[in-house]
Structure 1
Amino acid sequence: MTTLYLLGSAAPPVLEIASVIEGAQKRGYDVCLGLTPSAARWLEPQLTDLEQLTGHPVRSEYKAPTGADVWPRADVALFAPATFNSLNSWALGLTSSFVVGFAAEAIGKGIPLVTMPCVNAAYAQHRALDRSIAELRGMGVSVLYGPDGFEPNQPGERRPEGYPWHLALDAVARRTA
C-alpha cells in the first residue's frame, strides 16, 4: 500500500478533510494526517475520529529528538489546503511548523510532493505568492494553481463547486504512477 502524507493548513477546505481521507483510502492510500497548529485547533473536536479513520496519530507538532516515528515512511505527500503563509514559509525554508518542515525536507529526500493553494484574490495580488509558487515548482513540487488547479476567489467567498480536492488526488496518483 502506498503511504500518503496529507498535510493541511488552516483554510476552510481543511474542514472537509475526513471525506478527503476516505477518498484517498478508496484509491488505495494509507493516509497519515498532518496539520498546522491552527488547523489542528480548528479540527480539535474531530481529531480522535480522524485518528481512527487513518489508523495513525494526527500530527501537528515536531516529535522530540528521542521520540519514535509514529508514521510509516511517506511515498508521496499532498499539502492541501496550503495557505498564503504556509506556501511562503515553505518556499523560503521557514520551518516553524511540522507540516512545513516535513514538506521542505521532503524535497531533499526526493519524496514526490503535490500542493494546492487556498488563497483569496486579495492574497493572490501579493508578489510573494507568485515567487513562492515559482520557487516550489523549480524544486520539483507539483503546484496546482491556476486553470488546472485552484483559482482564487474573492475574500470571504466560496465557490459553489467547492475546493477541487479531486484534482489534488488525481495529481497524487500521477506522481505515484
Structure 2
Amino acid sequence: MLSKTDRGNNRAVTILQGSNGRRSVKYLRGNRTHPKPPRRRWYEYGKKGISMMRGLSRWQLPIFTVADRSGARRFQRLSGRSNSTIQMALAPIVAPDSVLCTDGLQAYAAFAQYRGNEHFVIKTKPGQKTASATHYIQNINTLHSRYETFIKPFRGPASKYFEGYLRWFIARVSKVRPDEVLRAV
C-alpha cells in the first residue's frame, strides 16, 4: 500500500496495489425527513417476518468497500451505483497494475476495461465463492458481516452521522488503540 498526497486538496490518498476485492453493501437510511416506507397489512406478514426488497431501494444507501491483500481497507458512502460514480471512487485508490475481484456489477467491468486492469467476476451464487484459488471476495464478505454485526445495536443511525460510524468501524477492525486515535485528532 502506497500513500501519496493530492496536491489540490492536501489530503492523503491511499493507493491499493496487488489483488483488490470490491463489493457494495446496503445501509438502511435513518433520517427523519425521509418518507417512511409503506406499512404492510396484517396478511402480508409471513411466518418468517417481512422480506426485504431485492437490490437498493430509496431507503437504502450504497456502501463502497475496497480491501487488498496487505490489509488496507476502505469504506465509503456513494450517492449511487452508476458507472461514473464508481469510476470516480475507484480512480484515486486503485493502482494500474492491480487485479480486480468484484461481485459482477457492470460498473466494475467498465472501470477495469477503461483502466486496463485484469478483472475477475465472482458471482454471489450459492455454489461459486472463488474464481480460482487466488481470486476471491471472501474478505469483503467477512468485512460486510462484521459491519452488519457492528451497526445492528444502533438500529440504523441517521444518515448525517453515517461517515463517522464507518470511520469508527474501520478503527475497530484495524485494532487501533484509543490513544492513537486521540493523538490523530
**Fold-level similarity (TM above 0.5):** no
Q: Specify the structure having the higher radius of gyration (Cα).
A: 2
Tell me which protein shows more strand as a share of its residues.
2
